Amino acid sequence: MSLNIELLKKTCEIAGVPGYEERIRNLVIREVEPLVDSLEVDNMGSVIALKKGSNNPDGKRVMVAAHMDEIGFIVTHIDDNGFLRFHTLGGFDPKTLTAQRVVVHGKKDLVGVMGSKPIHVMTAEERTKNPKITDYFIDLGMKGEEVKEIVRIGDVVTRERAMIEMGNCVNCKSIDNRVSVFILIETLRRLEKVPYDVYGVFTVQEEVGLRGANVAAHSINPDFGIGLDTTIAFDLPGAQPHEKITSLGEGTAIKVMDASAICDYRMVDFMKKMADQHQIKWQLEVLTAGGTDTAGVQRMGKQGAIAGAISVPTRHLHQVIEMADKDDIESSIRLLEACLENMDQYDWMHW
């Protein structure tokens, strides 16, 4: 099956920083509503789509979470010359901001650039130092009065980068985590009968601490959980074999753990079996830093959930040129579909 690249491109390019997910949420609602039995938006803004189970006398619930938000910025100050200061929403590596274009979402969208001190006027000492977030300002190329008419304190800012195809890969801002939003939409489209009730949840505010997933899991109270997110692929020059975490093109990644959650070994085992049975290429992921919605899904229901996660190996994570392999994306859709359609085919009560 070939990927719907047009939908993936739209999904990645659209703006939506933590707390301001309205544009991506509207896209998700439009795509998902026709595919499910019911759809609602909770008070925090997460989209909860339900596909009813066909063999479910015990009312088992499976929650699948993909965060909609992307890392971005919020305006903290506008100076008289029209330059903006900002705070980050989510984790950035400051050196990756140099000379990047951004979009400031004021009364209308304005393109800006991340400015900093040119190397020509740096002291010898300054040249040896890594930049800090506070070294940057946003230059809109407009006069102070003009800027103040359109931009206010608290307006949000996103990275500006169109999606392109390179080799067998896609490259864009916000592959983290729009690729998983896309995977969840496409899985809901392909799903045939599911035994248990499947709650496809498109969460808010993950990048600032799994906030939307926590609330949604508390209300859904799932028995089973699957997180969907990107993970590090450090399969690059200079990396030692033990530092790679995952590699592009080596298949979807079955998470064993990250810093926020130790996946249930039964879920890990079930995912491996499903992948093998369906001839889906997979690799294992052990990530010792970084958290995902998996933690919220696992722990915020009343009795906890049997939880695991499917990750998309991604290079250059949290930069403006995040990159994933199209075959790994397809493998992730196929593994999620296989898991959801066969959830009742595993002895979950064995310890």
User: Which residues would be at the binding site for Zn ion (CB under 5 A)?
Assistant: 176-177, 229
Judge contact between 272 and 303, C-beta under 8 A.
Answer: no
Q: What are phi and psi of 134, to 5 degrees?
A: -70, -5
Between residues 158 and 177, which has the closer beta carbon with respect to Zn ion?
A: 177
Between residues 155 and 176, which has the closer beta carbon with respect to Zn ion?
A: 176
What is the closest distance, in whole angstroms, from the C-beta atom of residue 37 to Zn ion in the complex? Answer: 28
In angstroms, the CA 264 to CA 276 distance is 19
Query: Which pairs count as long-range contacts for 272-276, CB under 8 Å and 24+ apart, including other chains?
Result: 273/346, 274/335, 274/338, 274/339, 274/342, 275/251, 275/335, 275/338
Between residues 11 and 177, which has the closer beta carbon with respect to Zn ion?
A: 177
In angstroms, the CA 176 to CA 71 distance is 9
In angstroms, the CA 319 to CA 120 distance is 25
Judge contact between 106 and 148, C-beta under 8 A.
Answer: no
What is the closest distance, in whole angstroms, from the C-beta atom of residue 207 to Zn ion in the complex? Answer: 7
- In 105-239, alpha helices (H): 124-128, 144-150, 175-190, 211-220
Annotated catalytic residue 206: yes
Between residues 176 and 285, which has the closer beta carbon with respect to Zn ion?
A: 176
Q: Which of 31, 160, 206, 285 is catalytic?
A: 206
What is the closest distance, in whole angstroms, from the C-beta atom of residue 206 to Zn ion in the complex? Answer: 6
Between residues 250 and 258, which has the closer beta carbon with respect to Zn ion?
A: 258
Structure tokens given for 90? 């989510």
Between residues 104 and 333, which has the closer beta carbon with respect to Zn ion?
A: 333
Structure tokens given for 142? 């407009």
In angstroms, the CA 281 to CA 6 distance is 24
Contacts of 196 (CB under 8 A, 6+ apart): 53, 56, 60, 61, 62, 223, 224, 343, 344
What is the closest distance, in whole angstroms, from the C-beta atom of residue 147 to Zn ion in the complex? Answer: 31
Contacts of 308 (CB under 8 A, 6+ apart): 225, 226, 227, 254, 255, 263, 264, 267, 268, 270, 271, 294
In angstroms, the CA 265 to CA 263 distance is 6
CB-based closest residue to Zn ion? 177
Active-site residue set: 206
